[in-house]
Amino acid sequence: MVFMEKISTFMAISNPHTKGDLFLEAIESHLPFTDEFIVINGSTTDDSIDMIKERFGNKVKIIDFEWKQGLGNWTWEQFAKTWNKAFDSCTGDWVCATESDHIFHEKDAGLVREKIAQLGKGKTHLLVDKLVSSTWYAWQSKTKFPLFLNKDEFPNIGYGFADTPTDLAYPIMKTGFSEKYGIPTGIALKDVTGRNMGLYMWNYDKCFKTREQLLGDREAAVWAWNNSCCVLEHQSPAWKPEDESAIISRMLSRFSNSPYQYKIKQYHPKVMLNKLMTIREDMLGYNLWGRLVDNSL
């Protein structure tokens, strides 16, 4: 089956190296199937952009986008605006909306074009199972993520606030724009309108973060939720700061109880092998991944 359509991929980042994100591995895992990779740089101040340029050169296009942060933290509305800027910058027929910790296994990356072609005309998106190592109940079905979007057949798409609850990284069908914040409002895209077709995306979540990085992420998320328009518009309950030990304990418990216990390194995406074999003891996932064995010996 010949696949002629162009695939674009975008990733929005802000200081991913400082945060301990797997942004380099994520980019590398997407390059085998994407024709255009765009990184939207949200006011990064560390060396992340230099690292991307050094490793990937002109394979990755960098677009700077001013990230107006509040008290040093991101806000949900800024997050949505950045994603919309990224989506509009993509020139492909299909757009892969990815994040700095989404990793494709090489065997699944090779199937992407085949699966999209199998969808046929009139299909708007392709679902991807997100395999999350820090979930304790169903590793292979925590979420179904509409990662691949048909831009031509789905022109009225955006990232913003939905009439039904959804994460801001989840695409919506636009129904209007918030007058106060200038970002789309709409209806959440339903899983039933797409198909998974056996495609998976690996997410090591917070495994390679230190306790300090995890707590920094949590603090930023709490601030954003309590000070962004998702609360002001929808009057959702405010998040409350948690005890630091409770946050760490919950994450470590999720890792230890995960049904995903692959200790053989060949099961993992090749782009992750170096990270897995050199994981430090101060990283949260060390006890889960710190004793991998080589099954080929």
pLDDT in tens, 43-73: 889 999 999 999 999 999 999 987 665 545 6
Within this chain, do residues 102 and 177 fall inside the same structural domain, yes or no? yes
Within this chain, do residues 197 and 229 fall inside the same structural domain, yes or no? no
Q: Out of 99-113, 252-266, 275-289, pick the least confident.
A: 252-266
Domain C-terminal end among 203, 232, 255 = 203
pLDDT band with cut points at 50, 70 and 90 for residue 297 = very low
Torsion of CA 260, 220, 128, 124, to 10 degrees: 170
Within this chain, do residues 63 and 157 fall inside the same structural domain, yes or no? yes
Within this chain, do residues 167 and 28 fall inside the same structural domain, yes or no? yes
Residue 207 and residue 288 in contact, taking contact as beta carbons nearer than 8 Å: yes
pLDDT for 211: 93
Give the tens place of pLDDT for each residue, 125-183: 777 777 777 665 444 444 566 678 888 877 788 898 888 777 777 888 899 988 888 88
* Percentage of residues of the chain with pLDDT beyond 70: 80
Domain C-terminal end among 186, 203, 220 = 203
Within this chain, do residues 70 and 216 fall inside the same structural domain, yes or no? no
Within this chain, do residues 186 and 270 fall inside the same structural domain, yes or no? no
The reply to whether 114 falls in a domain is yes
68-83 average pLDDT score: 74
Residue 163 and residue 185 in contact, taking contact as beta carbons nearer than 8 Å: yes
pLDDT band with cut points at 50, 70 and 90 for residue 262 = low
pLDDT for 48: 96
Domain C-terminal end among 148, 169, 203 = 203
The reply to whether 170 falls in a domain is yes
What range defines the domain where residue 280 resides? 211-289
Within this chain, do residues 186 and 233 fall inside the same structural domain, yes or no? no
* Percentage of residues of the chain with pLDDT beyond 90: 30
The reply to whether 1 falls in a domain is no
pLDDT for 139: 42
Within this chain, do residues 55 and 142 fall inside the same structural domain, yes or no? yes
The reply to whether 154 falls in a domain is yes
Q: CA angle at residue 21 from 80 to 107, to 5 degrees?
A: 95
262-282 average pLDDT score: 82
pLDDT for 138: 43
The reply to whether 217 falls in a domain is yes
Within this chain, do residues 249 and 127 fall inside the same structural domain, yes or no? no
Q: Quote the number of domains for the chain.
A: 2
Q: Out of 99-113, 146-160, 256-270, pick the least confident.
A: 256-270
Q: Are strands 143-150 and 125-132 parallel, antiparallel or unpaired?
A: antiparallel
**Three-class SS string for the chain?**
CCCCCCEEEEEEECCHHHHCCCHHHHHHHHCCCCCEEEEEECCCCCCHHHHHHHHHHHHEEEEECCCCCECCECCHHHHHHHHHHHHHHCCCCEEEEECCCCECCHHHHCCHHHHHHHHCCCCCEEEEEEEECCCCCCHHHCEEEEEEEECCCCCCEECCEECCCCCCCCCEEEEEECCCCCCEEEEECCHHHCECCCCEEEECCCCCCEHHHHHHHHHHHHHHHHHCHHHHHHCCCCCCCCCHHHHHHHHHHHHHHCCCCCCEHHHCCHHHHHHHHCCCCCECCHHHHCCCECCCC
The reply to whether 14 falls in a domain is yes
Within this chain, do residues 229 and 96 fall inside the same structural domain, yes or no? no
Give the tens place of pLDDT for each residue, 173-214: 899 988 888 889 888 876 555 556 678 888 888 889 999 999
CATH of the domain at 127: 3.90.550
Within this chain, do residues 100 and 226 fall inside the same structural domain, yes or no? no
The reply to whether 141 falls in a domain is yes
Within this chain, do residues 149 and 232 fall inside the same structural domain, yes or no? no
101-109 average pLDDT score: 89
| Maximum distance among all Cα pairs of the chain, rounded to whole angstroms | 62
The reply to whether 294 falls in a domain is no
Q: What is the pTM of this model?
A: 0.89
